[in-house]
A and B are shown apart, each in its own frame.
Chain A
């Protein structure tokens, strides 16, 4: 029996309504990456993580538990889980299971992104513990009432801090803030840009030429919805990186399967497996630009091929 769609959606919505995130995490976990970077609190321009990179180790731990549940009679108990979740933050316990090295890994990527922006001369702040999840998953699942309320909360937060420009670090937050929010929040006029766009526009020059080849995996949302296709190629190209393009690339990129992880883990893994096969055919050193793609493809690669986030390569080439 597949996971009960209704109850999982219910947990996601309840969490967003009560705890301002689909998978609420402690402030310590969401802000740990920024330690020692001396980012000012707030400001007109801010970096906005949407907790995506920080969430991955937690989701990873949780998905492990969930896919063990899929096709077991315990799925029938999920309704009970939703009931309990109203009183106890169930995902908090999942967070405890998250791997420490994995957490450090994802924190480093965020730090790299912030350092790259600094190097490019961008003046930006951070909302630390006040930052919230974007609501992307709830939007995707069509729970529009909860999403609308949440979008309004995030918008109010921006207003409170006088934020006019937001730099995002992943495609889901970029798409949700840039494309979905204006449809749900009247007069939403915050400028939203992905850090890849900001870096490409800044004219930042690499500090060293990398004599290496990598295989680029485009994010569906970046490529097809947000027009982020050439920027990563430009940044890597300037640093002398040779890019292998799989048959399905750029606007015709193939999904990593990630969006199904919460409801249909087995199907999600099947799609990730298909994609990793296509990428392996094109070359080694697979590079992603979305934490969800990264974790999904890494798992599907099962160690047969390296999968890295583009921020690591950029950090190396641009000397941060």
Chain B
């Protein structure tokens, strides 16, 4: 046994949440005589201000050097008690949290005696771990007040402006010669009838005026090194020039690729079958009635969900299973534009909308309502029996079943078949090689958690926004761009970042560099270094997350995670089975 410690143990009632099933007094009593325990007490609510102050006073009066709190989940109050330890001048990594609520009382409501026994075991294990704690300090990294934004579509432009407004220096780079991305081709966008080109022009004017933004077009990221707060990025410029940038964070807004149908998908390649984008172009350019190939357009069939929400089949081996989110809005909005044209010309155009589900969600439901009440006919199709597009004697024909007529089949003679094509992830081989942002199963860049940690990636300091992350409407893209701005600002405005010290640690004597840990690490936090003659593994502190896949693969037990060291784990197991051994 290591040298004796002075540990305080506090067991929480949690107002009955724990004490209704675990006899907390018995738990506190059971460990009171442990040689390392100086104080063992209970509290009704350990998290209350009064209880915290009492504990702080005791830490100082009794000169405690370790703390075990047996209460709720660490997700709820670990940071509360870390803060409390700090205020008591106790190293926060010498406090150990025992989850007596979620892992004991709540799951053993039918066995109070058993729950109490288990509670005692858990607290004993906590004490054993606490005995072996050492003081640790956060890893502090100075951050550079500069940001690289990759991709100057609307999301990237919008992000650049807001970052620059915060006083950060922004490098905005775009692969194409022109900024604006797909917004340049959308034409009028619903529901406010904004022109995509106007939106881009306004953003560009602000960018050009902003002294904090440096814009490079026809530029591409070709290399990256460094870590959160301090990246070095190489950018290739036109004419074989290159640029070296030192930035604190990277925001990736590389956008999407429109889906191109397969040769026979919904009559693709037949004359008169066109993507929504082209139809919108026709609408924008006409100053009278619609004409296609010299023929007036009287009947138009729109097919929704082309290239979205697919299922795997023989003809579709790599389906896009996701919803592309913008198409329902764009197509119903197109219906209203067509109604407007009708009113202007007095020439009726019959519209048939073959949809799967109309997902004009949020405040955009009125678009669907307007399309419908304007006279557009909506027919729902089932993925097991999609509409069939064919050309018979020069007449484009759509055959579909109408579920409102109990699946009766009907035939629509159409002058145009408009396909509402979805979004695909963009091909970015070079960038992917450089940034190594994990992709979702759909092929878009993956955020850590849709709700809890949006726009963040597994690579610290690299954020994603807009359709690079997944299909979005323009408004949603801008919202996510601004979320990325907030996250980036939060990271860089302080000037430094503190990282958890609970990370991997290599024992240079035991390590023989077999490379297993390098293969296991998903974060690229392991490097090979030379110490004298010897090759060993080295942990890049700023990149290690302390996740631990490197630990079990090491054949020589040369790598450990601080805070979860082997000796601590073994001691916890020993302590928790102490009673059994005594029997």
Task: Judge A-B direct contact (beta carbons within 8 Å).
Answer: no
B: residues with CB less than 8 A from A are none
